[in-house]
Amino acid sequence: MSNIRHAPTAPTHARHLNAGDRIDAHRHDDHQIVYAGSGVLEVTTEAGTWFAPGTRAIWVPAGTVHAHRAHGRLDLHLVGLPAADNPLGLDAPTVLAVGPLLRELILACTRDPAEDTPERGRLRAVLRDQLRASPQQPLRLPTAADTRLAAVCALVHDDPADARTLAALGTAVGASERTLSRLFRSEFGMTFPQWRTQSRLYHALRMLADDVPVTVVAHRCGWSSASAFIDVFRRSFGYTPGAHNRRSG
């Protein structure tokens, strides 16, 4: 990422982004919680892409060079925490589940960000407690280092409906199924089917944010039927694609 902007602190504030809007690569000396109450938020670093619908937030550690992109209209809420205050103990971006209480705490912190009162201090203390209790979610697409793995990922990412097996994809890029399977585990910590599901969910969230019908999303993203897509989506996010559209509206 070139032309990286450096902001000494990660300001706590709220802002609106329209579909397709971007915030270019930058970094903060502070940690940041990034939450979009609507639409789908995408955070990209050199290590990969993390994506989150309105029931998730993304933890961005201090010093991480990252860029944002909006899919659908975003009501973006950003909460900064000092670099010495890391309630999660995480040094890499992570997607977190956002329950009703954590959501209200984030909204309250960004509603009057300049306020510095004992009440605000207690609010942030509860926020930190809720962050520690928030389950981490595997909603990410890592960046491949090996060129063969990167080539396979590009084929699937460019066409999420591509149903070829790993062996067939390996033939297309000149690598064996065994080698690619090993690379998926060693570089990404997941199997090829797990990674392909993540890629398809990423594309599905983007399409849903653009109001593409559920049946069309299922077909374009490679699921055998709308019901199969709905089942995977519900297990991943806790609600149906139809409910996602209502949440994002």
Query: Tens of pLDDT along the chain (249 residues)?
Result: 456 776 656 668 888 888 889 989 999 999 999 998 888 899 999 999 999 888 889 999 999 999 999 998 888 899 998 888 888 888 889 999 898 999 999 998 888 766 677 888 888 899 999 998 888 887 889 999 999 999 999 999 999 999 999 999 999 999 999 999 999 999 999 999 999 999 999 999 999 988 899 999 999 999 999 999 999 999 988 888 877 655 544
pLDDT of residue 249: 45
pLDDT of residue 149: 97
Measured in whole angstroms, the distance separating CA 196 from the mean position of its chain's CA atoms is: 15
Instruction: State the virtual CA torsion across 74, 4, 128, 124 in degrees, nearest 10.
Output: -80
pLDDT of residue 244: 62
Instruction: State the virtual CA torsion across 1, 75, 21, 29 in degrees, nearest 10.
Output: -20
pLDDT of residue 114: 64
The CATH number corresponding to 144-248 among 3.40.50.720, 1.10.3720.10, 1.10.8.60, 1.10.10.60 equals: 1.10.10.60
**CATH 2.60.120.10 residue ranges in the chain?**
5-137
For the domain 5-137, what is the CATH superfamily, name and number?
Answer: Jelly Rolls (2.60.120.10)
DSSP β-bridge partners for residue 14: 77
**CATH 1.10.10.60 residue ranges in the chain?**
144-248
Q: How far apart are CA 161 and CA 145, in angstroms?
A: 24
